[in-house]
Structure 1
Amino acid sequence: YLRHAGSDPPWVRVDARSADPADRGRAILADAIADNGDPTTNLVRYADATLVADAADDVVDGVATVRYALVVDLARAAVLEPDPALRAQLEQQVRGGFTRITSTLWVDAANRPVGAHTRQELPGVGTLTLTSEYRDWGRPVQIAAPPSGQIR
């Protein structure tokens, strides 16, 4: 499911098997968002295309952290990507005007993410804002689907 702020109902069901181009586009977006649930994904995947633009000590909810400002150059990532399918996806994003992933990442003394924030302008789509908070490392979680009346 994707939450679409400002729409009623606010949740959209995503089906990667759908033949509808809009559904397939949402599925690609959902996959990208899920990949970024771990804020270190792009750092690992695109290490040679990532610039650490800034690093500074910070405190998040009483936890000492280092705040990193990161920029992933998607054109460079596409050139370096060995997987043809991922390379094609990156090249398509770059042709569409989506050339960078800019984010902020907060990491604690144990090298665990504490928080992440990404705000991107997606040409033809709008603004994607992804804010994540990480806590309770090692504890089980339960994620409930949105109520059926809030899904379109």
Structure 2
Amino acid sequence: MKRVTTLAAVATAAVLALSACGGEKQPGAAAPAPSEQKSLLSAPLGDPIQLAALTRESTKKAKSSKISMETVAGAEKNTVTGQGVYDGDNSKFSMTLDSEGKKVDVLWVDNAFFFKLGADDKAELKTDKAYVKIAADGQDPISQLLGKLMSKAVKESDPSRTLEQVSKAGKITKSDQVELNGELTNHYLIEIEVEKVIALIVGEVGVPFPADVQQKIDEKLKGKNVTIPTELWLNADQLPVQVVSDASAFVKAMGAPGDGVAKTTVKYTDWGSPVNITAPPADQVGDLTEIMKKAGGQ
């Protein structure tokens, strides 16, 4: 069942990346002049714990935004566009994943992922359904493998989570005030320690790596003090405008082939705008277990 496995892997990567997302100011009134902006923009903070708390409260108030993300891994470039609601168990996302020209529409709603199937997908999976579902409580092998991980990742995809991770696994090395896309922002340079953030994520997800995988990670990273340089831009409302993370050093340390470039840029727009995301009608959703049987487990 290569197609569903691939879709699930891509969606998981996208959702995990959303935990490092940022956003832009809500539309409406005309943008204030630079002098006005400066008076509204507080001085950058040096304490990541305080910064995380302020961003968490701002995100909780705004609650929704549109999404734009680009990941570069060597010569491969992937993009994600969509919209989301950050509300714990009630979080919802609607995304289009574009990987090497192949687009996949994905919904996260009602504690499950829904993948929209194209004509080729339907033919390969031998189904006439418009969607296939991967649920946190699903009984099929793929749902059991990825459902809970995806569920936890989505529920914790509030952009302020990045700052919480920084407070536990990194530090702010520099800050200043700069203009980005015509808006005055507080700009932070952050260094995140790879070994610490891996341990933090594994602990939060509650699913440890297999012993051999963890051993390989430990051996590759031992004594290298590998970090993930991250840039963060926050507006006057303490909402992220943009987040850029560069994992190239980590990828190279792990021995990945190619030039080792691994960079993610995430932007959000329209904070607080209405977002309407609903699950597809039940009669349009295929049962993954039955689809796997028909497809012969390919």
With the shorter chain as reference, the TM-score category is 0.5 to 0.7
Query: Paired residue for 2:264, among 95, 120, 130?
Result: 130
> Which one has the largest radius of gyration?
2
Q: Which amino acid aligns with 1:105?
A: L
Among candidates 158, 173, 188, match of residue 53 of structure 1: 173
TM-score by length of 1: 0.59
Given that 1:58 and 1:66 are in contact with CA atoms closer than 8 Å, whether structure 2 keeps it comes out as yes
2:234·2:240 contact (CA, 8 Å) conserved in 1?
yes
Is the counterpart of residue 6 in structure 1 residue 100 in structure 2? yes
Change (3 A) 1:88 1:136: same
Structure having the larger proportion of residues in helix: 2
Query: Structure 2 CA distance, aligned partners of 1:106 and 1:93?
Result: 36
Aligned partners of 2:165 and 2:262: how far apart in 1? 20
Equivalent position of 1:73 in the other structure? 193
With 105-114 and 78-87 compared, the bigger mean Cα shift is at 78-87
Task: Specify the alignment match of 1:95 in structure 2.
Answer: 217
Which segments of 5 or more consecutive residues in structure 2 lack a partner in the other structure? 1-6, 12-96, 107-114, 116-132, 279-298
Identity fraction in percent? 21
Unaligned runs of 5+ in 1: 145-152
Q: Alpha-carbon deviations, 1:40-80, whole Å to 9, x = none?
A: 31321341321212212111222110111112113234567
Contact 2:202–2:208 (8 Å) recurs in 1? no
Q: Choose the corresponding residue for 2:245, options 89, 114, 118.
A: 118
Counterpart check, 1:41 vs 2:174? no
Residue 247 of structure 2: SS of its match in structure 1? strand
User: How many residues are paired up?
Assistant: 141
Structure 1 distance, partners of 2:175, 2:267, is: 19
SS in 2 for 1:139: coil
Equivalent runs, 1:131-150 vs 2, <5 Å:
131-142=265-276
Contact 2:175 2:189 in 1 (8 A): yes
From the superposition, tell whether residues 130 and 141 of structure 1 become closer, same or farther in structure 2 (CA, over 3 Å). farther
* 8 Å CA contact 1:43, 1:50 repeated in 2: no
CA contact under 8 A between 1:36 and 1:42: conserved in structure 2?
no
Say if 1:46 and 1:61 are closer, same or farther in 2 by CA, change over 3 A.
Answer: closer
How well do the aligned residues superpose, as a CA RMSD in angstroms?
4.6
What corresponds to 1:108 in structure 2?
Answer: 235
Higher relative contact order (CA 8 A, sep 6+): 2
2:283 corresponding residue in structure 1? none
- Of the three residues 75, 80, 83, the one matched with 2:203 is 83
CA separation of 1:92/1:103 partners in 2, compared to 1, >3 Å: closer, same or farther?
farther
Q: How does 1:8-23 map to 2 (within 5 A)?
A: 8=102, 10-11=103-104, 19=141
